[in-house]
């Protein structure tokens, strides 16, 4: 990762900190996710636009990805 520095207004900073806390993530992760949502995706990997967008809260979700993506089988 590349480390960078940005300037935010007092209001932006505190609003972003509150949102990050609500989501249970760091401010840096909130900002990375925000950037990913507005930056153009890599045209050679169109599926990457959706990477990291689904959170189940289940630490074993990667082991049952079909259930996560397509729902439980009947």
| pLDDT tens readout for residues 12-61 | 999 999 999 999 999 999 999 999 888 866 667 666 666 666 666 777 76
Residue 13 to residues 23, 32, 39, 63, 71: CA-CA distances in angstroms?
15, 15, 21, 36, 37
Token match 């950037």: residue? 35
- Is 0.85 topped by the overall pTM? no
Q: Which residue has the higher pLDDT, 2 or 53?
A: 2
Give the separation between CA 65 and CA 52, rounded to whole angstroms: 13
- pLDDT band at residue 74 using 50, 70 and 90 as cut-offs: low
pLDDT of residue 53: 64
pLDDT of residue 73: 64
């Amino acid at each position: 990762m590349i480390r960078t520095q940005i300037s935010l207004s007092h209001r932006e900073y505190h609003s972003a900190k509150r949102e990050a806390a609500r989501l249970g993530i760091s401010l840096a992760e909130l900002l990375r996710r925000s950037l990913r949502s507005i930056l153009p995706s890599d045209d050679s990997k169109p599926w990457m636009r959706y990477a990291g967008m689904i959170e189940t809260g289940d630490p074993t979700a990667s082991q049952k990805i079909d259930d996560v993506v397509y729902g439980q089988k009947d």
